[in-house]
Structure 1
Amino acid sequence: MAHLEPLDPKVDSIRILTLLPRVDNPNSKELFCKLENRTLASKPKYEALSHAWGPGQATDTIFINGQKVVIRPRLHDALRSLQTGKGRSLWIDALCINMEDTKERNDHVNMMSYIYSRATKVLAYLGPSHSAFNKADMKEMGESYHYFSERNCQLISKSIYWTRRWTIQELIQAKEIRFHLGKGYFTLDNRFNSLSNASNGSWLDDHLERIENHRNNMHSHLQQLEVLLEMFKDLECEDTRDKIFSLLGVADDTAQELIEADYDVDYYQLYASLIDYHQSASPLQCRSDLFRSSTYDPEPWRENWQGFDVSIERSVRVIAFSNLVQKTLNSAVNQTPIPESLSLGDPIIARGVIIGSVMSIGETYDDYVSSWESNKKWKALLESTYKKDKDLAKWRENDAAFYQEMLKWDHSEVAAIQSCDTTKSYGYRESQDDEHITREALDSVTEGAQPRRFLGTKGLMGFLPPGAKEGDQICSFWEACFGVVVRKLSEDRWMIVGRATVSKESLTPAVTESVYHDALNYGTENTSYSSLLSRTGDEFWAKQKDLAYEALIFFKLDIPTLQKLTA
């Protein structure tokens, strides 16, 4: 990137692009700019561009400091739309950061929220004015659009801008936002006025309302990284790691430098650093689904959690969080070798519930989806397993629903059902003494072995990892859509066999709520398993009478085992 002069490493500084006015033919596509280095101490005035880079390669030319620079068409369109009769000072990531210098890229990404918060305005470029817009439905005042019809709002919602994850940080941090559409623009207030007149809400309406909510609560616990990852999980980035890095500047609980943007780290190291972050994170104070409340009131929360052992609440969430991170990273962690330099750190404690046992094992996945004979055998196995069960008709219905769901699986969903060969990680109930279990050999585990269908107690059904056998137990976790297979070795030790897929119908709300209630109602430092068993008159027991406390199980996990179970 020859047009970029190196920044002074001794001071915090950025580059400011000046978009020069068009002086000749108004229809000319040629754009001329100046680029200069500015220290943050000089308090530069600039507008920051927020845009989607768009698909394809750089093909359009502009001139920066007299040099030809090739950029992507969408950025070229944005610059043409923003060009006025006088120079315009802009900060644009694609032109102001040396993307070929990893250190500079890391530094700028880590202070991205700071750069956007310092801008006089954030200019969100949605694209050129759509040819299908009904101009009669667009009331204009100068360059500002003050009203959009419902139809035009739907056209705006199709802009690729809304799919870009970086826009969250850029819009939340902005002092003032202008959404540019061709030569015109609108504000958040304009948008609310427009959509309030529309007959139906839209995805765009919900999305912008989420952003507005975060802008109004910038210093609240809505800004915890775990909440942001869940809330904006539908948005994408070109570099998968940016799905994490793009939210770090907004999150208010990542200041301890446990995790920073670093494009030199691989996916496994990034995953491990996120688990480290989670192990030191605060409880989720704003999650209504966790605290069973539709509104967040911090005062009752503080009262309820006084004296609470935060590590217990964290142990309830860690399985779901690990799974969320791996989904966010598009399963790239599972395809990355474990780094030799990986520090395993302290073991991770997770808690779950034993929801049933394996009664019958049937066909492999491939046989089940490809063979009519295998399907007949499976149906016969279901009938014989549950022939005396009063809910047999319900189990037939659940099996049919699970079959339809399973036909939609791709390779990654089948590959996630895998054995776990570890002696360092195990399940326990009373004691987590630092000891390795004596692991019996997994039955029938051969190279290339496939997951097999199973039926279990209380109508449990799904797929088991290779090596599982009848009598093994299935564990579930809070907010997790899968199970873990364990085998009891002694009164207080369970061997981890591997990860299972369990049908949605098998994972009733009572299962995950029991884990939650255990953490919330009994999560104090001096609480032990034995003392909990003695509390028989408690309201908790009345609500959870179908799930005896003996079903609760703890897991001591190292990072590789946690990653494999939640891939």
Structure 2
Amino acid sequence: MADSVFNIEEPQRKRQKRIQYSPTPSQPDRNQATIYRPLDKAKREIRICDLSYALDLSDPLQCSLRIVSIDEAGSFVALSYVWGSDAATETISVDGIVHPIRPNLAAGLRQFRARFPGRYHLRRRQQSRQISIWADALCINQDDIEERNHQVDLMNLVFTRCEYTFSWLGKADEDSDLAMDCIAKIARLSSHPAGPLGSIQKLTQKKPFCEGGAWVAIHRLFRRDFWFRVWTFQELVLPRKLIVGCGSKSLSWSVFKKLENVRGYGDALAGDGFQIRQWISHMDFDIQDKIVAVSSILRTILLPILFSREAEAGSHKYNMVMRLKNCLHLHATDPRDKIYGFLAITKDHRLQPDYSKTTEQVYTEVAKSILPDLANLLVYSGISTRENAKNPLVSSSWVPDWDWTTKSAATAAMTWKDFELTGNFRGHYYHISKFEFKHLPDTEVLRFRGQICEIVVNSKFYTKWLDPKCFAVTIRNMYGRFYPQWSHYGRLQEPIQKLVALCQTLIQLRMPQRVVSMEYSELAAGFCYSTSLRIKSETNRGTSKATISLATLLKLFGTEIEKHSEVSSCLERCKDGYLVEEQASLRKRAFFETPAGHFGLGPPEVKDGDIICKIYGCWWPFLLRKVDSHYVLVGACWVLGYMGDQGLDESQSEMIEIW
């Protein structure tokens, strides 16, 4: 049964003789310096490792390497694993030559070898006492740059033509067996899912899911390095058939796929799992935390894999930008692999692996190839994504540092949840900037047509701005003023009260395709109630003169709240939902204002005096900083009044240079 957990049992000695390894005459001399013979690129050759079977897990690893054309490779299994940071302390005998390998590869080979008699192997191949596998650390000469370039180009064929891929998560720990058992049970219970609500409710009523231990185990399993590596992501997407192994247990990918029913859909995870918590409100809050944590990590890890496998099966491949956008959480030991690791699962043939180039050269070439077609790529650029990097990999502020984005809090903050890299917004002033590039001795310069809008004033990091005293002063200063005219998808509207605009900025309600987990009337009521509490708290301490009342705040939203009597009659219940949305919007961002009265949310590195710039063709405005005679890009920002086509004036356009 596909949903079963398979125990890897050690075969009994009395039923099989121990297999002794004896080198054949054709094998090279033991003193040979390398285990590798050259590959013929024209024939698209690869190496296949024939791993010798053994009775015990602890038996020495022995194999032979043979060279074949990928078109004539026959049946083999691809091994997917994490190299790890440990030194090569283990060994394998390759054609009689002792070759060092890393511990995780050695453990994976041993466990894979132990399950050789299992159901997933063809019986006719058991007679050979060898298992044909492909493992990159063994089958590619990692010291030969030219060979690495060629073999990376063949990765798509290796993982699509293999019999199946064995994805090795690593050795067992104290609760990994429990996690694998729980995942198998979820798959059985989800055979006929009734949607996320029914699925989660069903799970939490059964053992062991009514307790926190099961959720902790699953969460720990998905926190393993395997799920956060660029190469293993590709190796999960390409194969038609997958077996996932951890310790002595393994599951087919069809079982893992059914975890999709646990995570929830749409905006279920917005606001710290607000909706999921409603579904499981009967459970202890501590267990709720664990379930939300599992749902969150499954959304981060599982969704990109599922979508990518479906796209691959449907002969549709994401372009490089969409792949990078959806996989910001993935790491690579070699920063260049943040690009090269996705070449096999993208349709961008303009890029070819070349490990003779520096990381800066690779990232700059990618940006120059993509920007002319997709200006919104700049949302991942700026000094905000590398301000604290000890050794920045790129010098040009407009070039995304794809390695640092994985580690950068600023990037996590600026990458709004439903951000689309399409650039297709409506409006009279819609333009696509023509990007030009100029090479200087120490940097590459980006030239484009855009519009300088305003400067930043009164910038504060979100934690400081939410301080009741600071918040109360801001409210007091803005009360009674009107917000400058703003447009809603191209339609001019009358000016609105500034406090209403502030509310919309804090919850980012008008983001394209943003699905808010609560109705706007509830969020507006929550804003009013929370604001009045904050001001009252500060006023009672005698540090503020703000006297704005709850009734006055509610009037600013007019019929939005009045037409919902159930909302206005129970304001307190709206508070928590609003605060959750507010926290999600502000987290890891700076809040700022402009002299014209606009509000903005930007990266933590924003400073007073930074310039808001509209780049035609981008939904987001960007923050620039003047340095000597040129600008550097600080990062993308959110400013109600300058989103999409808002505030564009063709007569104010100019050529701008960013270093």
TM range, smaller chain: 0.5 to 0.7
Asked whether the 8 Å contact 1:358–1:457 carries over to 2, the reply is no
TM-superposed CA distance for 1:551, in Å, is 6.7
1:11 alignment partner AA: K
In structure 2, how many angstroms separate the alpha carbons of the residues matched to 1:173 and 1:407? 35
Give 1:81-96 correspondences, 5 Å limit. Answer: 81-83=111-113, 84=116, 86-96=129-139
In structure 2, how many angstroms separate the alpha carbons of the residues matched to 1:319 and 1:348? 13
Asked whether the 8 Å contact 1:14–1:39 carries over to 2, the reply is yes
Asked whether the 8 Å contact 1:269–1:339 carries over to 2, the reply is no
Asked whether the 8 Å contact 2:234–2:341 carries over to 1, the reply is yes
In structure 1, how many angstroms separate the alpha carbons of the residues matched to 2:602 and 2:109? 54
Give 1:245-260 correspondences, 5 Å limit. Answer: 245-252=340-347, 254-255=348-349, 258-260=350-352
Which residue does 1:483 correspond to in 2? Answer: 623
Is 1:7 matched with 2:21? Answer: no
Q: 1:394 to 1:110 in 2, by over 3 A?
A: same
2:649 alignment partner AA: E
Asked whether the 8 Å contact 2:164–2:239 carries over to 1, the reply is yes
Is 1:211 matched with 2:272? Answer: no
TM-superposed CA distance for 1:6, in Å, is 2.0
Give 1:111-190 correspondences, 5 Å limit. Answer: 111-133=154-176, 138=181, 151=214, 152-190=217-255
Q: 1:203 to 1:259 in 2, by over 3 A?
A: same
- What whole-Å deviation, never above 9, does each CA across 1:139-182 have from its counterpart, x for those lacking one? 899xxx97896524334212211011112221221121111122
TM-superposed CA distance for 1:321, in Å, is 5.7
Asked whether the 8 Å contact 2:49–2:139 carries over to 1, the reply is yes
DSSP 3-state at the match of 2:142? coil
- What whole-Å deviation, never above 9, does each CA across 1:353-391 have from its counterpart, x for those lacking one? 55x43486999x9xxx9xxxxxx9x99x99999899568
Which moved further from structure 2: 198-207 or 331-340? 331-340
Which residue does 1:30 correspond to in 2? Answer: 60
Which residue does 2:378 correspond to in 1? Answer: 319
In structure 2, how many angstroms separate the alpha carbons of the residues matched to 1:167 and 1:325? 29
In structure 2, how many angstroms separate the alpha carbons of the residues matched to 1:236 and 1:136? 24
Asked whether the 8 Å contact 1:319–1:350 carries over to 2, the reply is no
TM-superposed CA distance for 1:94, in Å, is 0.9
DSSP 3-state at the match of 1:130? coil
Which residue does 1:261 correspond to in 2? Answer: 353
In structure 1, how many angstroms separate the alpha carbons of the residues matched to 2:586 and 2:178? 47
Is 1:474 matched with 2:612? Answer: yes
1:511 counterpart (642, 646, 650): 642
Give 1:59-78 correspondences, 5 Å limit. Answer: 59-78=89-108
Asked whether the 8 Å contact 1:275–1:322 carries over to 2, the reply is no
In structure 2, how many angstroms separate the alpha carbons of the residues matched to 1:146 and 1:20? 36
1:48 counterpart (74, 78, 99): 78
- What whole-Å deviation, never above 9, does each CA across 1:441-465 have from its counterpart, x for those lacking one? xxxxxxxxxxxx985322457999x
Residue ranges of structure 2 left out of the alignment (5+ in a row): 1-32, 118-128, 191-207, 264-279, 281-290, 400-437, 483-496, 507-533, 535-578
Is 1:229 matched with 2:327? Answer: no
In structure 2, how many angstroms separate the alpha carbons of the residues matched to 1:241 and 1:37? 27
Q: 1:486 to 1:72 in 2, by over 3 A?
A: closer
In structure 1, how many angstroms separate the alpha carbons of the residues matched to 2:341 and 2:174? 32
DSSP 3-state at the match of 1:513? coil
Q: TM-score, normalization: structure 1?
A: 0.60
TM-superposed CA distance for 1:187, in Å, is 1.8
Which residue does 1:442 correspond to in 2? Answer: none
TM-superposed CA distance for 1:481, in Å, is 7.2
TM-superposed CA distance for 1:339, in Å, is 8.1
In structure 1, how many angstroms separate the alpha carbons of the residues matched to 2:239 and 2:477? 61
TM-superposed CA distance for 1:262, in Å, is 1.1
Which residue does 1:523 correspond to in 2? Answer: none
1:319 alignment partner AA: L
TM-superposed CA distance for 1:319, in Å, is 2.7
Asked whether the 8 Å contact 1:48–1:116 carries over to 2, the reply is yes
Asked whether the 8 Å contact 2:311–2:317 carries over to 1, the reply is yes
In structure 2, how many angstroms separate the alpha carbons of the residues matched to 1:56 and 1:339? 41
User: Which segments of structure 1 move beyond 6 Å, counting only runs of 4 or more?
Assistant: 145-149, 324-327, 335-345, 359-363, 381-388, 390-402, 405-409, 461-464
TM-superposed CA distance for 1:15, in Å, is 0.7
Q: 1:457 to 1:39 in 2, by over 3 A?
A: same
In structure 2, how many angstroms separate the alpha carbons of the residues matched to 1:107 and 1:341? 31
1:232 alignment partner AA: C
1:209 alignment partner AA: L
Q: 1:279 to 1:194 in 2, by over 3 A?
A: closer
TM-superposed CA distance for 1:500, in Å, is 4.9
Q: TM-score, normalization: structure 2?
A: 0.52
In structure 2, how many angstroms separate the alpha carbons of the residues matched to 1:499 and 1:272? 15
Which moved further from structure 2: 392-401 or 57-66? 392-401
Q: 1:205 to 1:133 in 2, by over 3 A?
A: same
In structure 2, how many angstroms separate the alpha carbons of the residues matched to 1:153 and 1:469? 45
Q: 1:180 to 1:511 in 2, by over 3 A?
A: same
Give 1:275-424 correspondences, 5 Å limit. Answer: 275-279=367-371, 281=373, 314-315=374-375, 317-320=376-379, 322=381, 331-334=392-395, 349=448, 351=450, 354=452, 356-358=453-455
Q: 1:233 to 1:31 in 2, by over 3 A?
A: same
- What whole-Å deviation, never above 9, does each CA across 1:324-366 have from its counterpart, x for those lacking one? 9977xx7411289998789979x75454x55x43486999x9x
1:91 alignment partner AA: W
Which residue does 1:550 correspond to in 2? Answer: 649
Residue ranges of structure 1 left out of the alignment (5+ in a row): 282-313, 370-375, 414-452, 488-494, 515-546
Q: 1:154 to 1:271 in 2, by over 3 A?
A: closer
In structure 1, how many angstroms separate the alpha carbons of the residues matched to 2:602 and 2:377? 23
In structure 2, how many angstroms separate the alpha carbons of the residues matched to 1:50 and 1:325? 34
How many residue pairs align between the two structures?
A: 422
Is 1:58 matched with 2:88? Answer: yes
TM-superposed CA distance for 1:31, in Å, is 1.0
RMSD (Å) for aligned C-alpha atoms: 5.2
TM-superposed CA distance for 1:273, in Å, is 1.4
Which residue does 1:456 correspond to in 2? Answer: 595
1:179 alignment partner AA: V
Q: 1:500 to 1:175 in 2, by over 3 A?
A: closer
In structure 2, how many angstroms separate the alpha carbons of the residues matched to 1:238 and 1:76? 19
In structure 2, how many angstroms separate the alpha carbons of the residues matched to 1:209 and 1:393? 37
1:210 alignment partner AA: P
Percent of pairs identical after alignment? 19
1:334 alignment partner AA: S
In structure 1, how many angstroms separate the alpha carbons of the residues matched to 2:152 and 2:396? 25
- What whole-Å deviation, never above 9, does each CA across 1:471-522 have from its counterpart, x for those lacking one? x9631453557412589xxxxxxx85444568x6x622x52222xxxxxxxx
Asked whether the 8 Å contact 2:47–2:66 carries over to 1, the reply is yes
Asked whether the 8 Å contact 1:165–1:246 carries over to 2, the reply is yes
In structure 1, how many angstroms separate the alpha carbons of the residues matched to 2:594 and 2:353? 45
TM-superposed CA distance for 1:196, in Å, is 3.9
Q: 1:389 to 1:265 in 2, by over 3 A?
A: same
